Amino acid sequence: MNQRAIEKTELNKILSAVAEFAVTEGGKQRVVTLQPTPVVNEVVSSLKLTEECVTLLFTHGLAKVEYFPSFDDEIERAQKGSSLSCGELLKAENLLRSVRIAHKSISGINDDTIVGMKALANRLYFDEHLEEDIRTKILNDSEVSDFASDKLYSIRREIRLLNERIRSRLSEYLTGAEAKYLQDGIVTMRDNRYVLPVRAEYKRSIKGFIHDRSASGATFFIEPEEVLEMNNELRSLHIDEKEEVERILGELSRRVGFMGEELLVDIQTLEEIDCIYARAEYSYKLSCVMPKINDSGVIDIQMGRHPLIDRKKVVPVNIALGDTYRFLLVSGPNTGGKTVTLKMVGLFCLMAMCGLFVPAKKATISTFEEIYCDVGDLQSIEESLSTFSSHITNIIHIVENANERSLVLIDELGGGTDPDEGQALAKAIVSHLLKSGCSGIVTTHYTALKEFAFSADGIENACMEFDADTLRPLYVMRIGLPGSSNALAISRRLGLNESILADALSNLSSDAQKFENIVRSAEESRIQADAVLIETNRLKHEWEEKLALLEKEREKLKKEKEKLYISAKTESRRIINEKSAEAEEILREIEEIFAKEELTQADLIKARTLKNRIADKVYDDASDEENPLKQYAPISAEKLKVGMKVFIGNAGQEGIVQSVRPQKNEAEILCGNMRIRSKISDLSVLISPQNAQHTTKKTNKPKKTNGVQITKSLNPKATPSLEINVIGMTVSEALPEVEAFIDSAVISNLEEVRIVHGVGTGRLRAGIHDFLRMNKHVESYRLGKYGEGETGVTIVKIR
């Protein structure tokens, strides 16, 4: 790829920005030296690696390559048998650690889409034992650990002990009789040996070896005879220590040298991984997408953004070529975005061919063997000094070399010279390029070139939109129609004298005026049509939201209806079950009566009573809707007659009067199978008109069958209770009550009830829980929460 295209499209700036995300120096260098490749398979493979790294970094959360300093020279020296220093061995440890982390982190990912990066990771070779040895034996750039070997530990231990002995002996000089001979009360070192600072006049008073004298001559540094041998031994130990350290460093260096070739491969592989990670992170940070790649010249960019323009300011552009047309002729006002769009297309192609994603919503990119650029940058001093000669020289190079595998980008073709000659030359150049089979984008203001694009095959007009009201560019590309330069309109907005503008308008040819007016009118109509389309789409979206809301409400009502239906069905089933149970109980009692060998008159009366109860329940069920409420009034002893239906206030039940005792103010009432004596003052009679009539006909005139009086009675349906209190009862007393309560709850179709048993010793609660655990009607139970009675209450959920 020619360097001019890389510079003009500013790919070099993009690569520099990508390099900032690399960790190693080698990785940064690989990024900035990336070269676009036109081979489709290589581009696809490179983009796939970038995609895998995006997944590794931002889906699986892998860390990037661990930093390691440059290590090539040290490896070569180690391979030749040289010993490496502590600092150089620590570099080797950094490299080994980086290799190990990269290999294990990538290989350990369980993702079938990660293929290429795992192949790279498998090329990495590392030695954990060597890494561990270097890390534990080398403390820093200049020091080996005491524990690097047993011998070194022993030597350094002897050195420490001997140093203590020497300092201890010399300290006797500092505190003993010899102290008066010393210049200072300190022990110092000369030539790595312990010495005493003795005054010059007393130098013969202390026997020993003189090592040095101060600059003033007032002090002599003397090694006493008593420590001379110890210092010699100390020197010997230091020599042994140095030899052992050199042996340890040499051994580690040889191990590094043995795997030198593998380490060199590791460095290259890690730098390549670092480069791919940098491409992935740059692509992710700029919200780029992986483009589809082809080599047929098809380019389709949707919502493309130039990566060097602030994302908050850039206006996304849609552009396409290479399908029905290979060339795009872009026109429109200055500063409208023509040049930026042209450079963006070339840059996107180069980025994709370097394995980089492109900042767009969706993109299809073609590879090219060569991209030719002739783009002027008005902000560049170098370009502002260019002449038509340099411009046409570059064009000559393009037309001589462009072919069907080339992309040509020319800004303001034919500019910088006489307009008539310039547009004639531009038309001829574009015609030649079309014949060569290449693809490209050309920007222009020439009317003749716009007209040519209407009639020629393989080229299409495009324009950068312009707001006719505000006279400002919209930075939006529209393909299909040319754009107007709007030079006079912009000049008027900027304040140019009207007389000059009128004179300029008169100088335009009539054909040029007509063409510009047609283009401007078409552009305005298109903008208005787009505004109408936007408003239409907005209304459509608004109505779609309303319809979706209505559909949601309809579904909600449907669910409510189904819920009510299920509830009604459940309630009807409960009522049927309840009535069936009552009827079965009555029938069972009748069967028990007739199962006797001999029937008495009382048995027959009881059987008929039970039969009438069934009939009475049918009647009452049918008339419940007509008489939802019953009204009672007190009755006196004089009006109370045998056979009347009365309501016993203190018992809360209805019954039939069996006998009346006015003198005792009492009456005997039959309530189901029970006879109750009640005070007449506690009795009341039904006063509802229909029921009163019913009472007169059915109660005051009871039927006679074989001399037996038969009356009807109906126990009122009691409201099911949600709670039972068994506090104070024993376990044996409470369990029958609880069992009856649970059965009642099942018949009443209750979902949840409460058993109040209190806290106490806990025996009652435990007994109830044991019973509930074995009861088939109990789905679950729990102690009460705060506000429900806590441990004094058990909440039971009925199955």
Residue type for position 792: G
Is residue 464 within a helix (H) or strand (E), and if so which, with residue range?
strand 459-467
Whether the CB-CB separation of 649 and 684 falls below 8 Å is answered with: yes
pLDDT digits (tens, 9 = 90+) for 208-255: 777 778 777 778 887 787 778 888 888 899 899 999 999 999 999 999
Work out the burial of residue 636: count CB atoms within 10 Å of its CB; fewer than 13 is exposed, 13-18 middle, 19 or more buried: exposed
What the block records as the tokens of 200 is 């010059």
Nearest to 342 by CA among 327, 363, 360, 357: 327
**3-state class of 157 per DSSP?**
helix
Both tokens of residue 81? Answer: 């048998």
Rounded CA separation 91/68 (Å): 7
Q: What DSSP character marks residue 753?
A: E
Q: What is the mean pLDDT of each run of 10 residues along the chain (799 residues)?
A: 85 93 93 92 94 93 89 89 91 93 92 91 91 92 91 92 84 72 74 79 73 78 79 88 92 92 93 94 93 92 89 85 88 77 92 94 92 68 54 86 91 76 86 90 84 85 70 68 61 68 62 57 67 85 88 86 78 79 81 76 72 62 48 78 81 79 83 74 70 41 41 47 84 87 80 86 88 88 82 88
Say how many residues make up the chain.
Answer: 799
| Whole-number Å distance between alpha carbons of 120 and 101 | 13
- Position 51, amino acid: E
pTM of full prediction above 0.75: no
Q: What is the pLDDT of residue 378?
A: 41
Write down the pLDDT at residue 371.
92
| pLDDT score at 244 | 93
Largest CA distance in the chain: 160
pLDDT tens column, 722-753 = 888 888 888 888 888 888 888 888 877 788 88
Element at 100 (helix H, strand E)? helix 86-107
Q: In this predicted structure, what is the pLDDT of residue 477?
A: 75
- Rounded Cα distance between 704 and 658, Å, is 15
Q: CB-based contacts of 439: which residues, under 8 Å, 6+ apart?
A: 297, 299, 321, 322, 326, 327, 366, 368, 406, 407, 408
CA dist., res. 722 & res. 751, Å (int): 9
Calpha distance 595→603 (Å, rounded): 11
Report how far residue 532's alpha carbon sits from residue 256's, in angstroms, rounded to the nearest whole number: 74
DSSP 201: G
Residues 130/123, Cβ–Cβ less than 8 Å: no
* DSSP-based three-state secondary structure for 189: strand
Query: Helix, strand, coil proportions of the chain in percent (round to 5)?
Result: 50, 20, 30
Q: Please, which residues bridge with residue 754 across strands?
A: 723, 795
> Is the separation of the CB atoms in 281 and 19 below 8 Å?
no
Cα separation of 174 and 180, whole Å? 9
Query: Which residues, listed in sequence order, are joined to residue 329 by a DSSP beta bridge?
Result: 442, 461
Is the distance from CB of 124 to CB of 102 less than 8 angstroms? Answer: yes
The residue type found at 368 is F
Question: How far is the C-alpha of 298 from the C-alpha of 630, rounded, in Å?
Answer: 89
- What is the Cα–Cα distance from 118 to 394, expressed in whole angstroms? 45
Alpha carbons within 13 A on the beta-carbon side of 661? 9
Contact (CB, 8 A) for 131 and 256:
no
Nearest to 100 by CA among 133, 63, 78, 131: 131
What tokens appear for 119 in the block?
């192949």
- What is the pLDDT at residue 717? 47
Distance CA(189)–CA(211), nearest Å, equals 10
